[in-house]
Amino acid sequence: MEKRKITYREAVNQALHEEMERDEKVICFGEDVASYQGVFKVTEGLLSKFGNDRCFDTPIAESAIVGTAVGAAVTGLRPVIEIMFMDWIGLTVDCLVNQASMMHYLWDGAVTVPMVLRTQGGAGSSGCCHHTKSMEAWLYHIPHMKIVMPSTPYDAKGLLKASIRDNNPVVFIEQKLLYATTGEVPADEYLIDIGTADVKKEGSDVTIVAISKMVQEALEASNELEKEGISSEVVDPRTLKPLDMETIGNSVRKTGKVLIVNEAFRTGSVASDIGIQIQEECFDYLDAPILRVTAPDVQPPYAKSLENLWLPGKDTIKEKVKELVSK
């Protein structure tokens, strides 16, 4: 299959274009997604190609954006909406938690809610507290809500196309610093099944389960550790709900030691839940306590120097892997 090297941003943009071409029921709306083509230019070209009926701007009203999407979805459309920064996801919670996630269950399958909420999360751009948080744990707690967090252009395109075709509400989280990263993406159409993890790098001494941009940090740490004789396997869940515990478990059973890396706040993080699931399923195979690398329970600072200290990174990952190996 022919492949091309493109950016993460281009991969998401291609997925939107292809799915809107394939199915006229797919529509796109949100703040600045049409005339401005998105604050990160991810929706570039959609308005000029598909017109204002299928790609349009909305008022600055996150609850209204999601409420409109839920209504559109249950009446036969497939809306892909954008909440500009995930920090504002709290404004959408009533519509997401009390409507979108429940309708299929409450109506015994007679109603589906095929909508995708795209949003940008994560730190590293000096966006301060209102533009840098990773809030996936809020929605991870809710049944019937799928959560996707791809780390590469290949994964982003394949998973977004699959998310748009899914009949359930999907929250698709893009770490904003990934937009400029590049990777090979097939020229032909492909999909990635939601709920399938990917082993980004094989190893034998330690399993590193890394989420979103932390996959890059984990791979850099793993490559540097390899020069010191430590072999680490990097597993990317790609989707948090459903979570591919089979792939994660197989890796942990092989290595016997596991580190979970999640950019979000430490308390109540997704890393914590993945850790307890590993403990429940793989306890007899563990040769050391499960360790986590996360952001501290402190709001993200604005100053770049402080933000760099706040963010988890390869150096902390290396330190924790060495701690595991020594046990």
pLDDT of residue 232: 98
pLDDT for residue 132: 87
Rounded Cα distance, 74 and 145, in Å: 15
Burial of 130 (0-12, 13-18, 19+ CB in 10 A): exposed
pLDDT of res. 112:
95
In terms of C-beta density within 10 A (0-12 exposed, 13-18 middle, 19 or more buried), how is residue 256 classed?
Answer: middle
9 contacts: CB under 8 Å, gap ≥ 6? 40, 41, 42, 179, 180
> What is d(CA 230, CA 285) in angstroms, rounded to the nearest whole number?
19
Structural domains present in the chain: 3-186 (3.40.50.970), 198-325 (3.40.50.920)
Start-to-end CA distance of the chain, whole Å, equals 44
Q: Which helix (H) or strand (E) holds 245?
A: helix 245-255
What is the pLDDT, as a whole number, of residue 226?
97
Backbone angles phi, psi at 174, to 5 degrees: -110, 120
pLDDT, residue 247, reads 98
> In the numeric block, which tokens belong to residue 274?
């993945």
Chain segment 174-183, per-residue pLDDT in tens? 999 999 999 9
Of 103, 73, 247, nearest to 166 by C-alpha is 73
Can 141 be counted among the known catalytic residues? no
Distance CA 322, CA 80 (A): 43
Q: Which one is catalytic: 17, 104, 130, 131?
A: 131
pLDDT < 50 regions, the chain: none
